[in-house]
A and B are shown apart, each in its own frame.
Chain A
Amino acid sequence: MSGKSPRFDRDMPLADLLRAVPRPRLLAALTRTLGSVWRIVDADGNCVLEPEADALAGVATVGIPLRVDIEDVARLEAPEQRRALAEAAARWLELVLVSGHRYLMAADLHAETVSADFETLQRQHAALQESEARYRALAEQLDRRVQEQVAVIERTQRQLYVAEKLASVGSLAAGMAHEINNPLGFIRSNLGTAQSYGAKMGEVLAAFRRGDAAAAGALWDRLDMDFVLEDFPGLLAESTSGADRVARIVANLKAYSNIDCDTAAPVDLNQAVHAAAEVLAGQVPANVNVELALGELPVLFCDLSRMNQVMFALLQNAFHALDANGGTIRIESGVDGNAVRVAISDTGCGIDPHLLGRIFDPFFTTRDVGKGMGLGLTVSRDIVTAHGGRIEVASTPGRGSVFSVWLPLDRGAPARHPGESNEGVQ
């Protein structure tokens, strides 16, 4: 068992047995019985207790053995003539020693079992601590892994967001390409025609310059110069208008170019509506009717490129809500109390009531894989919220949806003279 506590079942020497007895009282009791001439000697002959030093010197003594268990552990020595008293005292002394023995055995056994129990407890405690430490380490590890996963998810979300933006820029670019290609096509064709007209004019003018009126007249008729002269200015005018159209598209694109730029400026929200509508116009088939009912709006202090983004997302959604049979998209704007309200309604498929609560969630989309990331409304709401406004939706499945954007008017605009604004509406 434990090496710390003494073994309870050891053979106990006299010194141990006497430890359990109060010495002064033992001394006093024996002296009262035997006088001051006596002593107790252990098994090896050493004196362990006597009332006075060398009390028995020169006296004829008798030694009476003191037995504990089956062994003589000591002797009580006294003068020969007090033998009877000494015998009686020795029996009492034996009782005292035996009871000391009992007490020590019980005490040591108790100490031994307690120490064994304590060791067991300590072992269990150590095992518990170890397992607790293991679980703590596991929890920390799990926590770390959760953090890592969260970081991965956040990174992926950002990447998806960027991808979504790139995708919308891509579809924008495709629309733009189509839009620019059209006027470019007829401008090029017109220029080709103009080139042939120029050659014809050159021929006729050369004939006139030679003074050969008859040949010139014949040439005039053959080359149908009457038609050329009539067609030429129209051709140029048409080309000029085509070039203007390209210039306008490029100007709209510029509104999207600094999409991450957090610059607030005085803005007429109708401008954002126009820009978005024009960007989408190229993608809208003939059977889709886009109605604008734009009221006069006060100048709003906000980030135009962000507002363009919101209007574009809402219009794109409205357009996607319409099926092949077309329908109507209506954009209204006006002042509603202390806010500017822009409402974009469509006559499309509408939104299922059980999906209404999720449409603003990131990556929630009802479109096919690859057709939409599900970030348009999320980003739009973030932008509108950042400007202190709100987006609301009302929808009837099969009838269509209305998305309304409110932007507050009382957002503190920096002190700037309205004249500095180049947006023409106050």
Chain B
Amino acid sequence: MAELDEQRQRLTVKLLYYGPALSGKTTNLTRLHDLLSAERVGDMMTLETEGDRTLFFDLLPFGFTAPSGLLIKFKLFTVPGQVVHDSTRKALLSRADGVIFVADSQRNQALNNGVSFDNLAANAGILGIDLARLPLVVQFNKRDLPEVLSEHEIRERWARAPWPLCFASALKGSGVLESFSALLKKVYAPLDEAFALQSGHGVSEAAFVAAAGGRP
């Protein structure tokens, strides 16, 4: 859950890219760093990789100052996708305020997507996070590749899931900001409830999304 430092007038919100190995989480973060128009965008921090694979996490800090003077600070992490790094994934998922699940659209990756989503559900259970109430957006990445499931197929398969579905090609930059904006919208309500963003700090949902660099 987000953390309010009253003394420093700072609200820190933790967001996460989750998903199977090599589904494009870091690429999402890199593109977002380039696209993001938030008031303050920090440097992207990459902690140790092995080839193309994240070992610890990537971190993009950004934020804006509310009319009340409250600094709303976002820490956007990627998790390592490989199965062996489950403890790291669990530590990253703890206290998360929102998750973008980055799935690989390729036909032969359906199983990996399922395993990773089950892992997200299992870790959420261990950490006491109610997956039904966690702001979550599912992004199907790599739409630019040839052997991918069609949008129709994916929508059919995920018809009964309550989460917003987004389609992206992170490498080319499409859909990245849309997925991120969809998450910002979902994250606003619980934050507003907990920290009175609207009434106490003069931040509406639209202002929240826009100031954080999303698209309305």
Contact = CB atoms under 8 A, between A and B. Distances in A.
A binds B: yes
Contacts, number: 57
A117 interface: yes
A114 B91 CA distance: 10
Interface string A80-117: 00000000000000000010011001100100111011
B55 to A, nearest CB: 9
A220 interface: no
Residue from A69, A102, A117 whose CB has the most chain B CB atoms within 10 Å: A69
Interface stretch (B5-13, B22-30, B108-116, B154-162): B5-13
A1 interface: yes
Contacts of A11: 3, 5, 8, 10, 12, 73
A246 B14 CA distance: 114
Interface string B52-72: 000011010111000000010
Contacts of B94: 1
A9 B14 contact: yes
Nearest to A69: B61
Interface residues of B, number: 31
Interface residues of A, number: 20
A113 B87 contact: yes
Interface stretch (B35-43, B99-107, B140-148): B35-43
B88 interface: yes
A109 B88 contact: yes
Contacts of A71: 10, 71, 73
A172 B45 CA distance: 105
B75 interface: yes
B3 to A, nearest CB: 8
B90 A116 contact: yes
B194 interface: no
Interface in A275-297: none
B10 A102 contact: no
A8 B40 contact: no
Given A11-B10, A70-B63, A106 B87 contact: no
A152 B156 CA distance: 72
Interface in A1-44: 1, 7-9, 11, 43
Given A11-B5, A102-B47, A116-B90, A70 B73 contact: yes
Contact of B8 (A43, A69, A117): A43
Contacts of A43: 8
Contacts of A114: 87
B48 interface: yes
Contacts of A117: 87
B75 A9 contact: yes
A109 B47 CA distance: 11
A423 B88 CA distance: 99
B61 A105 contact: no
Nearest to A116: B87
B31 interface: no
B21 to A, nearest CB: 18
Contact of A109 (B43, B57, B62, B71): B57
A8 B90 CA distance: 12
A106 B48 contact: yes
A69 B3 CA distance: 16
Contacts of B10: 11, 71
Contact of A70 (B41, B57, B91): B41
Contacts of B88: 109, 113
B95 interface: yes
Nearest to B55: A106
A195 B23 CA distance: 130
A11 B45 CA distance: 15
Interface of B: 3, 5, 8, 10, 12, 14, 40-43, 45, 47-48, 56-57, 59, 61-63, 71, 73, 75, 77, 87-88, 90-92, 94-95, 127
The 4 A-B residue pairs with the shortest CB-CB distance, nearest first, are A113-B87, A69-B61, A70-B40, A70-B42
9 contacts: A9-B77, A69-B73, A70-B40, A71-B71, A105-B47, A112-B91, A113-B90, A113-B91, A116-B91
Given A9-B14, A106-B47, 19 more contacts: A7-B95, A8-B91, A9-B77, A11-B8, A11-B10, A69-B42, A69-B73, A70-B40, A71-B10, A71-B71, A98-B45, A105-B59, A106-B56, A109-B57, A109-B91, A109-B92, A116-B87, A116-B90, A117-B87
